Amino acid sequence: TLAIGVENGRLQLMRHEHDESPVLIDTGLTATNLKWSTNGTVLALAGSYGGSGGSREVAMVQFYSPYGQHLRTLKVPGGGIQAVSWEGGSLRVALAVDTFIYFANIRPDYRWGFFGDTLVTAYAQPERTDSSVLFWNTKTDERTVKYYDRLLSVRVASENCVIATQTESPTQQYALLLCNAIGSPLDSKHVDVEPTFLSATPYHVVCASHSFVYVWQYRTLMSKLTSVDLGTSSLRRKEGRERCFHIDDPPDKNQSEALPDVNGRDPSADPIIAIGASQHCLLVARESGAMLRYSLPHIALEHTYSLRCRPQTIAINCESTRAAIVDTNGVFTLFDLGSPGADTFGKGEVMVPAATEGEMEQRFERKDVWDVKWADDNADLFAVMEKTRMYIFNGLTAEEPVPSTAYICSFNELQI
């Protein structure tokens, strides 16, 4: 990817020098520096924001993928960023600010997951053009490697993992592969919805593009895999095992066998920017700040929340009563979802009581957060990764932090 940046903050990403359909981005910054990571997976754009009307300029770095997706914003103290340099492994970045050099750790969003006793992770081998996916049983040390062309994403839930790939068909389809602990495929679906966002629960796989949402119920409460219960894909669709809808439309309960034509609709003017799913509900965040709550498995719109941030990660607790949201600035907040009919249903942001009388209550938030994990068996317990520390919360009360830079595999029975 060729990146061209101008001082006014405009950014152009091109596949080659003659690309007739480049990605155009208005970053909103007064840009001073542009630098690719050493492995070419992240673009850092340094600059400043504000300064008009007497307000002070804020120095910041915006990180983008080669496809133009905004990954994160890092605010930096000081007057301005004069230079940016990446470490050899692309896991740290150095910033020259005034007379200081700041070092920032990078936490990549790896394609990985942990389910049962198995760790599944994707990596690239220099001698291969496809992606290698390792299934490693951490108890028996048994290892299996599978190879996938055009691997897009990996998600895990319960006893299975879901692997999203792009097929080589001329119709630009995508494949969702349901695999077991040794990487053997148990079921698969071919869909037209690009899995820009992917989430898995013990019963559903949810993938979404910027305009469409696709839900696949691969397991039922009464039985094992749905592919075992019913014979053909047309029957599964007739029974409601697959549902697809445009985000601007209400889900059709009487959807016919044929899924809607994804290519026949214009993109939404209010695109999807994040999703989160649990056993009982699906949350879809949109660019306008609206977050839609749908019931599962019936996929009915239950409520619309209003957000004050741009979510990057949405995690729902085991009882579907609270959601943890991390935005693109690394700010962590809690949302009270409640249950339909309950007093807390649709309440919104979790607030912290005022310390003294007369003060206004503030929303519960943490800064510089890059990962969050709810406990599998306790709706009030969650772990938060802040910089190089891990905090365990019971409700809104934090335990003493533990130094750690690790990614959280599981949180169960008071063990992480």
* Residue range 272-313, pLDDT digits in tens: 999 999 999 999 999 999 999 999 988 999 999 999 999 999
More confident residue, 338 or 308: 308
Please give the model's pTM, rounded to 2 decimal places: 0.89
Burial class (CB in 10 A: 0-12, 13-18, 19+), 255: middle
- At 5-26, the pLDDT tens digits run 999 999 999 999 999 999 999 9
Among the three residues 54, 73, 105, which one is the final residue of a domain in this structure? Answer: 105
pLDDT-derived band of residue 384, with 50, 70 and 90 as boundaries? very high
Are 184 and 272 contained in the same domain? yes
pLDDT for residue 68 is more than 80: yes
Residue ranges making up the domain that contains 212 = 107-302
Q: Which residues have C-beta within 8 Å of that of residue 340, sequence separation ≥ 6?
A: 295, 302
Are 189 and 115 contained in the same domain? yes
More confident residue, 184 or 259: 184
> What is the predicted pLDDT for the residue at 214?
95
Torsion of CA 194, 407, 102, 10, to 10 degrees: 0
pLDDT-derived band of residue 55, with 50, 70 and 90 as boundaries? low
- Domains held by the chain: number: 3
Among the three residues 54, 74, 105, which one is the final residue of a domain in this structure? Answer: 105
Give the mean model confidence (pLDDT) for residues 211-229.
Answer: 78
Give the mean model confidence (pLDDT) for residues 56-68.
Answer: 91
Are 290 and 157 contained in the same domain? yes
pLDDT-derived band of residue 252, with 50, 70 and 90 as boundaries? low
Are 126 and 96 contained in the same domain? no
Q: Which range (54-58, 199-203, 314-318, 393-397) has the least confidence? A: 54-58
Are 324 and 402 contained in the same domain? yes
Among the three residues 258, 285, 302, which one is the final residue of a domain in this structure? Answer: 302
> What is the predicted pLDDT for the residue at 343?
64
- At 104-125, the pLDDT tens digits run 999 999 999 999 999 999 999 8
> What is the predicted pLDDT for the residue at 235?
41
Are 285 and 193 contained in the same domain? yes
Q: What is the mean pLDDT of the chain?
A: 89
pLDDT for residue 224 is more than 90: no
More confident residue, 321 or 261: 321
Q: Which range (208-222, 226-240, 334-348) has the least confidence? A: 226-240
pLDDT for residue 237 is more than 50: no
> What is the predicted pLDDT for the residue at 236?
44
> What is the predicted pLDDT for the residue at 239?
45
pLDDT-derived band of residue 265, with 50, 70 and 90 as boundaries? confident
Are 101 and 123 contained in the same domain? no
Are 100 and 130 contained in the same domain? no
Q: If DSSP states are collapsed to H, E and C, what string results for the chain?
A: CEEEECCCCEEEEECCCCCCCCEEEECCCEEEEEEECCCCCCEEEEEEECCHHHCCCEEEEEEECCCCCEEEEEEECCCCEEEEEECCCCCEEEEEECCEEEEEECCCCCCEEEECCEEEEEEECCCCCCEEEEEEECCCCCEEEEEECCEEEEEEECCEEEEEEECCCCCCCEEEEEECCCCCEEEEEEECCCCCEEEECCCEEEEECCCEEEEEECECCCCCEHHHHCCCHHHHHHCCCEEEEECCCCCCCCCCCCCCCHHHCCCCCCCEEEEEECCCEEEEEECCCEEEEEECCCCCEEEEEECCCCEEEEEECCCCCEEEEEECCCCEEEEECCCCCCCCCCCEECEECCCCCCCCCEECEECCEEEEEECCCCCCEEEEEECCEEEEEECCEECCCEECCCCCCCCECCEC
Structure tokens at 175: 């494949």
Pairing of strands 272-277, 242-246: unpaired
Give the mean model confidence (pLDDT) for residues 153-167.
Answer: 94
Are 209 and 72 contained in the same domain? no
Are 189 and 337 contained in the same domain? no
pLDDT for residue 251 is more than 80: no
pLDDT-derived band of residue 253, with 50, 70 and 90 as boundaries? low
CATH number (domain holding residue 376): 2.20.25
Are 126 and 88 contained in the same domain? no
Are 35 and 64 contained in the same domain? yes
**Range from 174-183, 226-235, 353-362 that averages highest in pLDDT:** 174-183
Give the mean model confidence (pLDDT) for residues 364-381.
Answer: 95
